[in-house]
């Protein structure tokens, strides 16, 4: 499970904050297996190209 607020998600998606910084700051809570989404971030518009 991954929980965060919308602003933090946008910051993560645009690489303005790192996953580890968001976790250590308490802006992101992740529990369970496969919750580290850093391999999918930042989001980009070139998927499938």
User: What domain count does the chain have?
Assistant: 1
Task: Print the domain residue range for 14.
Answer: 2-33
Q: For residue 3, what pLDDT band results from cuts at 50, 70 and 90?
A: very high
- How high is the pLDDT of residue 23? 93
Would 42 be classed as within a structural domain?
Answer: no
pTM: 0.77
Would 49 be classed as within a structural domain?
Answer: no
With residues binned 3-state (H G I as helix, E B as strand, rest as coil), the percentages for the chain, rounded to 5, are: 35, 10, 50
Query: 6 versus 35: which is more confidently predicted?
Result: 6
Q: What is the pLDDT of residues 7-48, one digit of tens each?
A: 999 999 999 999 999 999 999 999 988 888 888 888 876 655
Run of H or E including 7: helix 6-13
């Amino acid at each position: 499970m991954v929980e965060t607020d919308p602003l933090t998600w946008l910051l993560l998606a645009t690489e303005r904050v790192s996953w580890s910084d968001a976790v250590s700051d308490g802006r992101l809570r992740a529990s369970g297996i496969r919750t580290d989404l850093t391999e999918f971030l930042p989001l980009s518009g070139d998927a499938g190209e």
